[in-house]
Amino acid sequence: MGKKLTKRAEDYSKWYNELVVKADLAENSGVRGCMVIKPYGFAIWEKMQAELDRMFKETGHQNAYFPLFVPKSLFEAEEKNAEGFAKECAVVTHYRLKNDPDKEGKLMVDPEAKLEEELVVRPTSEAIIWNTYKNWIQSYRDLPILINQWANVVRWEMRTRLFLRTAEFLWQEGHTAHATKDEAIAETVQMNDIYAEFVENFMAVPVIKGVKSESERFAGAEDTYCIEALMQDGKALQAGTSHFLGQNFAKAFDVKFANKEGKQDYVWATSWGVSTRLMGALIMTHSDDNGLILPPNLAPIQVAIVPIYKGEEQLDAISERIAPLVKELRAKGISVKYDNRDTHKPGFKFNEYELKGVPVRLAIGQRDMENGTFEVARRDTLEKETVAEADVVAKIEELLEDIQKNMYKKALDYRESHITEVNDFEEFKEVLEAKGGFLSAHWDGTAETEEKIKELTKATIRCIPMDAKEEAGQCVFSGKPSNRRVLFAKAY
């Protein structure tokens, strides 16, 4: 454990980095930009995966697995996609090492084992997958193809941060093929909705659903739908994206099908993904200066029980009292840890569960033993109360529900109070600096204006919200006419 976390108000970025490491979520590895996801962090990711996987399967998707490597000739087939990822990709050029004749015990790349064609470590799998779909699709009867893959991908980012931006990360990528444009667009929207549902109901993070501007689109997409969340420092975080790829990949890989009328047509595509970046969103939305705050729906440990005792006899008595409670909670599907380690003091354990964001903590000491009570503490508000043994299971169930709801509400209140309508560029800059959050502003629809605003303020268009209403106005920067507001923010 050791010393306290840096406070958010002091240095938000430092607070985040410390928290990720101290709460045993992840750490930097011996490989530049790559992280080690530690067991506690990975347990949260596994819960996310399980839930998303269930939602994907319920909507008819199946999992499959495609190669890690993309031969250069396939990688470059879809031009925009290639252009978008070429500058940050890891390239395998050789397939063997040999003993270095000049350095005893050292190895070197064997120049005789040079690959004829270089292999790109997948930054995303459209190319390798569409090269495969080509052989799977002949007729409309072969469509739709609804496949998801859980995988690692590599993007050689220069500045990395644990979970938020790492050279290697874990994600899922859905890749679907459809007979019609409408069906593909409906799939794109459906998956963005599923992401929103998951992030709001499980992560307790409110999101805004929208569409990206052209400059922020996925390389190779016709349209990118997204969900945008707001962190406690007023910066936005893109939590998931769903792309309508049109016929771009079908054309690049020559994937045609015979439609019901027997005519040949190119296949319509979508792809969609969320990654371990979600961990960053989860941490930054909810945590406080004491550590992590985890929503009960994703907490690996939902209830921690700490005995307060002197000597083995007292511990035994407490353990006996605890046993049926643990059993009852587990039977209800609640994950419980009874922490009877004799190597650590109760105070240490309290700090540890606080740091690790365990939603509910029970403590039981001698007075509780006498009175037949427990001390019950909730992590989100840090409130404590004394609860009679007979009521404690119901209390825990109520708390787990309440914490989940309260965390969402708190994040939503913050988000709602940090969407500011601004109508001129001075106001734009002032609000961005003084308050942060989303700025709802008119935009003339041009990439030039977008770029200029980014240069001057570092704010980008996060999305054009799905529910943006028609409203005549003037671009906050150029003064040119606009018919709806879009959301700007500084972003992770």
* Residues of this chain that bind a copy of itself (CB under 8 A): 27, 29-31, 34-39, 42-43, 46, 62-72, 74-76, 79, 82, 86-99, 105-107, 109, 118-121, 128, 131-132, 135, 141, 147, 151-152, 154, 156, 168, 170, 343
Nearer to a copy of itself, 76 or 265 (CB): 76
Short-list 188, 231, 224, CA closest to 206: 231
Locate 37 and state its tokens: 């996801």
CB 306 within 8 A of CB 346: yes
Tell me the CA end-to-end span of the chain in Å, nearest whole number: 28
**Rounded least distance, CB 301 to a copy of itself, Å:** 12
Contacts of 398 (CB under 8 A, 6+ apart): none
Minimum gap (Å) between residue 298 Cβ and a copy of itself: 15
| Helical (H) or strand (E) element with 50 | helix 39-58
Minimum Å distance from CB 487 to a copy of itself?
Answer: 33
Smallest separation, CB 103 to a copy of itself (Å)? 10
Nearer to a copy of itself, 42 or 353 (CB): 42
Rounded Cα gap, residues 283 and 164, in angstroms? 11
**C-alpha–C-alpha distance, residues 366 and 370, integer Å:** 6
- CB-based contacts of 267: which residues, under 8 Å, 6+ apart? 133, 137, 143, 177, 178, 179, 247, 250, 255, 256, 257
We find the least distance from the C-beta atom of residue 149 to a copy of itself, in angstroms, to be: 9
Q: Which residue, 150 or 350, has its beta carbon nearer to a copy of itself?
A: 150
Q: Which residues of 50-68 are buried (b: 16+ CB within 10 A; e: fewer)?
A: ebbeebbeeeebeeeebeb
Smallest distance, Å, CB 272 to a copy of itself? 17
Residue 243 has, within 13 A of its CA and on its CB side, a CA count of 24
Q: Which is nearer to a copy of itself, 72 or 410 (CB)?
A: 72
CB of 9 to a copy of itself, least distance (A): 30
Closer residue to a copy of itself, CB minimum distance, 99 or 366: 99
Q: Which is nearer to a copy of itself, 109 or 315 (CB)?
A: 109
> What tokens does 412 get?
């939503």
Nearer to a copy of itself, 69 or 350 (CB): 69
